[in-house]
Amino acid sequence: MIRLVRGFKDILPEETGLWQYVEGVVRELFDDFGFAELRIPIVEQTELFARSIGADTDIVEKEMYTFADRSGGSLTLRPEATASVVRAYIEHKLYAKDPVWKLYSVGPMFRRERPQKGRYRQFCQINAEVFGLHDPRADAELVLFLMTFMQRLELSDIELHINSLGCPECRPSFKKALKAFLAGRSERLCSDCLRRRDKNPLRIFDCKVPSCKETMQDAPSILEHLCKDCRNHFDTVQRALEGFYIPFQTNHRLVRGLDYYTRTTFEVLAGALGAQDAVAGGGRYDGLVKSLGGPDQPGVGFAIGVDRVMELLAGRAQEFEKRPDLYIAALGSQAQDRAFEWMQHIRRQKVRTEMDFQDRSLKAQMRRANKLGASYVLIVGDRELEEGAAVLRNLETRKQEQVPVRDLVSIVVSNIRRSRII
């Protein structure tokens, strides 16, 4: 037997209803906030991610699924969405139509990480990107979106952490202070962080090795090195969040895992997830569009880890299972033929309907209707056809009524729709 690839997973029918519910909630919210959907390809040129994410990041160094194209090029399954969205924004000259764009995408990403709870090698993300706005209120609006989304899903034990990573003006002085701090602590850093210490010391904040995490607890704070513009920007974001009554913690060790972030960065954490507690995160990336060959347009965005959201909602999966409104129990060849015809007419009026194709006993068909969780069962046999009436039974209340065969479809549909409203 061929088994599932390690680090990947199947989403089974009893789970997909919950996935559809979450995607429906977020799509409705994106519509309310004025976002448009952009559908990006799964495969991109490897150079796109190496240039945008950063060659020194774990993602590019260890985790990307990269392979040679037959033409000799190098292709990669997308490990994140922002780089692809920026590429599309530039390639299709969306900035020429309007410099301000609010885009979202939903779909799978791929990283060859060590599989564990809440971390898969194929994982689903909901992504939002806003281009063309320097205003810090755009950052706050995205955070408001995230927290509203969490509230609509009724998620509890959620924390918001925010930070500022400064800009090319003020970050050099912080890097200098950070390198000085790390100079006497080489023996406590892992081999990857020793290499990053000189190239990109901010990456050490993102290391998961316990000795490195402990070492960075006492590291200098970037918030003490912000220039005036970055300080004003961060202060405005915080004031806006306070105005929305959104509780947050400033966390000077929050850097995220990608090199393109500048100024505002944020994460939403869920205590119930344990070590893999980040549910969503994002921030500002003002230089990314220009670095990939586009105009000097600012950007800010976020990603939501859908798999982790599903873990938080796992106990509610049964609420969203798709169950038939009606099950038709037909006995006899003529009744089976009529039932099949009725079922198709009823389905076309948006009533979920199933029937038995195996000519089993009424008792067996009733067991099947209950197993599927049907709301109603329509019982009809060759004798009922001759008499001109079938039996419609409400499986919740156990009440039943005679339904004339002549107007059966309209009466059944009307009854089921009425019961939905009640």
Model confidence pLDDT, tens digit, residues 86-103: 999 999 999 999 989 999
**Domain segments of the chain as ranges:** 13-170+226-317, 323-417
Q: Percent of the chain scored above 90 by pLDDT? A: 68
Dump pLDDT digits (tens) for 353-376.
Answer: 999 988 899 999 999 999 999 999
pLDDT of residue 63: 86
- What rounded mean pLDDT belongs to the chain? 90
Across the range 253-277, mean pLDDT stands at 83
- The number of angstroms, rounded, from the C-alpha of 40 to the middle of its chain's C-alpha atoms is 15
Total number of residues shown for the chain: 422
Across the range 378-404, mean pLDDT stands at 92
DSSP 203-269: GGGG---HHHHHHGGGSPPGGGG--HHHHHHHHHHHHHHHHTT---EE-TT---S-TT-EEEEEEEE
> How many CB atoms neighbour CB 208 within 10 A?
9
Residue 125 banded pLDDT, cuts 50, 70, 90: very high
Dump pLDDT digits (tens) for 293-312.
Answer: 999 999 999 999 999 999 99
Say whether 323-417 and 13-170+226-317 share the same fold.
no
pLDDT of residue 214: 83
CATH topology of domain 13-170+226-317: BirA Bifunctional Protein; domain 2 (3.30.930)
Whether residue 390 is predicted with pLDDT greater than 70 in this model: the reply is yes
Residue 194 banded pLDDT, cuts 50, 70, 90: confident
CATH architecture, domain 323-417: 3-Layer(aba) Sandwich (3.40)
pTM: 0.87
62: three-class secondary structure by DSSP = helix
What is the number of alpha carbons within 13 Å of residue 314 lying toward its C-beta?
9
Whether residue 422 is predicted with pLDDT greater than 60 in this model: the reply is no
Whether residue 56 is predicted with pLDDT greater than 70 in this model: the reply is no
Whether residue 274 is predicted with pLDDT greater than 90 in this model: the reply is no
**Each residue of 131-168: b (16+ CB within 10 Å) or e?**
bbbeebebbbbbbbbbbbbbeebebeebebbbbbbbbe
Strand 278-284 and strand 299-305: the pairing is antiparallel
CB 351 within 8 A of CB 416: yes
Q: Of 7-11, 44-48, 201-205, where does mean pLDDT reach its minimum?
A: 201-205
Residue the block writes with tokens 């089993």: 360
Whether residue 150 is predicted with pLDDT greater than 90 in this model: the reply is yes
CB 306 within 8 A of CB 123: yes
Residue 205 banded pLDDT, cuts 50, 70, 90: confident
pLDDT of residue 257: 61
